[in-house]
Amino acid sequence: MLPFQTLLTINKDSAAPVYQQIANGLVGLIRDGVIKPGAGLPGSRELALILQVHRKTIVAAYQELFTQDWIETIPRKGVIVSQKLPEIKPRSFKAVAKIPAYAGNTGFPFQQVGPYPATMVRSGEHRLMINDGFPDHRIAPIDMLMREYRSLFHSPGIKRYAAYGSMSGPLSLRTELTGFLSETRGLNIGAQNILLTHGAQMSIYIAARLILKPGATVLVGDPNYFMADMIFQQCGAKLQRIPLDEQGMDVDAIAAICKRKKPDLLYIIPHHHHPTTVTLSAERRMKLLELIRQYRFPVIEDDYDYDFHYGGSPILPLASADHDGNVIYIGSLTKSLATFMRVGYMVAPENFIQEAAVLRRIIDIRSDNVLEEALATLFRNGDMQRHLKKSVKLYHERRDHLCNLLDQELKHVVKFHKPAGGMAVWAQFDKKYPLPAIAAKAAANGLLMSDGASYSFHTHNYNALRMGFASLNEKELSEVVEILKKLV
């Protein structure tokens, strides 16, 4: 007889009942060919003795296996492994000591998406972190949201969120957004022009998937937001990089390309460009709009932190001008909340939104409707607008504080322009101080920071990083600069 006491392990602390553990163990032995079809199993009394369990437990286990067709009862022979089961190649005791199925690699080839540039150099615990430009979760309107959650969860309306609801996201938030986007951005749209997604990133992905075919050409900045580059490459597109200076993307270069061949897509961040923070000048904006109307190519306008502008008014998006339905506008509410609350939106002509909503559903059925409904309420009663105003004031101060510090303490090391908005300073380090070395030393001093790889990997080494200032208070910003100063 097989050594069942070693083959079948019973864990009395497990949540699974013992009879089920025994049944599952036997299934494993049958399935792996250790016990063959037709082979006899010990009687329930005998197996109970071997395994030191109550006989009823074995009876229950056998009952289970019987129901699942793994075993059958033959008169005068007792319990045997079902003879209908296929003979499989003998694996005998290999099964006992076998490598678990997931311990090795896949048995098949598949697409390699990578490389994903490391964004942070880690080394144990850290006290401080320079991120890419995240909001400060410490000022996020958590209490207001919790208040709304409580009231939503206990309202009869919760029924609506339990069903799948509109493919584009809750009408309440889309309606509030039409008002908000009209007031802040001059966008003249209806709720049918909005798709809510689980963050702005998903909006970019969905728009790109709808627009791009393999082999397509996408115009992007040099440099560009690397996660957008990765999306376009994932769609099988080729990137064509457009030079970028203090005025933003070189629109004449785009015009020259259009004359030869219409691009399949232009991805542009005209306001607080990522990573460099530059803003497209008025002149180039007008030229670009004219090109868009003339050649009718699709444009993704990524305006992820429009709401955070400090030098006067923000510049209206391309989307607010006359573009004959060619501009897909993408924005984020995550930046106004916290990175762990993901709400983004896409603005487009209705025919595009309809397809985007279907694609969104098959990728990710829907967003967090309760969060979206809660946000709708906060917009409706003005809480969100007040929160934004407060955040902008605070981040404005933090920007000034960081820029002053960089000027005073690191002038010889860091080159930067004070950004007109957003949540980060584009800091180019002197080549004498390579960022990978700085980041490694910083990590040892409790400061987590990028080694610059995510901004440089695609073309050349800028030896630069985005220094997010929004999520650090003035004291923390001072500490950060102090550490950096010590390291150079």
**Contacting residue, 169, 221, 223, 298, with its own copies by CB under 8 A:** 298
Count CA atoms within 13 Å of residue 488 on its CB side: 22
Angle ∠(428,434,435) on CA atoms, nearest 5: 70
Spatial CB neighbours of 78, under 8 Å, sequence gap ≥ 6:
40, 41, 43
Count CA atoms within 13 Å of residue 38 on its CB side: 4
Residue span 13-32 as binding mask against its own copies, x where in contact by CB under 8 A, dash where not: -xxx---x--xx--xx-xxx
| 369 sits near its own copies (criterion: CB under 8 A) | yes
Residue nearer to its own copies on the CB measure, 317 or 428: 317
Q: How far is the CB of 151 from its own copies (least distance, A)?
A: 12
Tell me which residue of 307, 295, 350 sits closest to 328, measured CA to CA.
350
Q: How far is the CB of 175 from its own copies (least distance, A)?
A: 15
Determine the interface stretch with its own copies among 269-277, 325-333, 395-403, 451-459 (rule: CB under 8 A): 325-333
Residues within window 98-137 making contact with its own copies, judged by CB under 8 A: 98, 100-108, 110-114, 116, 119, 129, 131, 134, 137
| 201 sits near its own copies (criterion: CB under 8 A) | yes
Angle ∠(398,403,407) on CA atoms, nearest 5: 150
Using CA atoms, how far apart are residues 68 and 246, in angstroms rounded to an integer? 70
Determine the interface stretch with its own copies among 42-50, 290-298, 397-405, 411-419 (rule: CB under 8 A): 290-298
Determine the interface stretch with its own copies among 46-54, 367-375, 439-447, 453-461 (rule: CB under 8 A): 367-375
Residue nearer to its own copies on the CB measure, 291 or 405: 291
Strand 424-429 and strand 464-468: the pairing is antiparallel
Q: How far is the CB of 99 from its own copies (least distance, A)?
A: 9
Q: How far is the CB of 312 from its own copies (least distance, A)?
A: 5
| 287 sits near its own copies (criterion: CB under 8 A) | yes
Cα-only R_g, the chain: 30
**Contacting residue, 46, 222, 250, 355, with its own copies by CB under 8 A:** 355
- End-to-end Cα, the chain, rounded Å: 73
**Contacting residue, 267, 297, 304, 310, with its own copies by CB under 8 A:** 297
Residues within window 330-349 making contact with its own copies, judged by CB under 8 A: 338-342, 347-349
| 273 sits near its own copies (criterion: CB under 8 A) | no
Determine the interface stretch with its own copies among 44-52, 230-238, 411-419, 431-439 (rule: CB under 8 A): 230-238
Can you read off the two tokens belonging to residue 152?
């939503």
| 398 sits near its own copies (criterion: CB under 8 A) | no
| 283 sits near its own copies (criterion: CB under 8 A) | yes
**Contacting residue, 18, 327, 333, 443, with its own copies by CB under 8 A:** 327
Q: How far is the CB of 168 from its own copies (least distance, A)?
A: 12
Using CA atoms, how far apart are residues 450 and 468, in angstroms rounded to an integer? 11
Q: How far is the CB of 52 from its own copies (least distance, A)?
A: 20
Using CA atoms, how far apart are residues 157 and 9, in angstroms rounded to an integer? 49
| 175 sits near its own copies (criterion: CB under 8 A) | no
Residue nearer to its own copies on the CB measure, 184 or 277: 184
Q: How far is the CB of 408 from its own copies (least distance, A)?
A: 26
Residue span 52-71 as binding mask against its own copies, x where in contact by CB under 8 A, dash where not: -----------xx--xxxx-
Residue with tokens 């989307």: 319
Determine the interface stretch with its own copies among 188-196, 215-223, 266-274, 392-400 (rule: CB under 8 A): 188-196
Count CA atoms within 13 Å of residue 468 on its CB side: 18
| 88 sits near its own copies (criterion: CB under 8 A) | yes
Residue nearer to its own copies on the CB measure, 341 or 405: 341
Residue nearer to its own copies on the CB measure, 413 or 419: 419
Residue nearer to its own copies on the CB measure, 235 or 410: 235
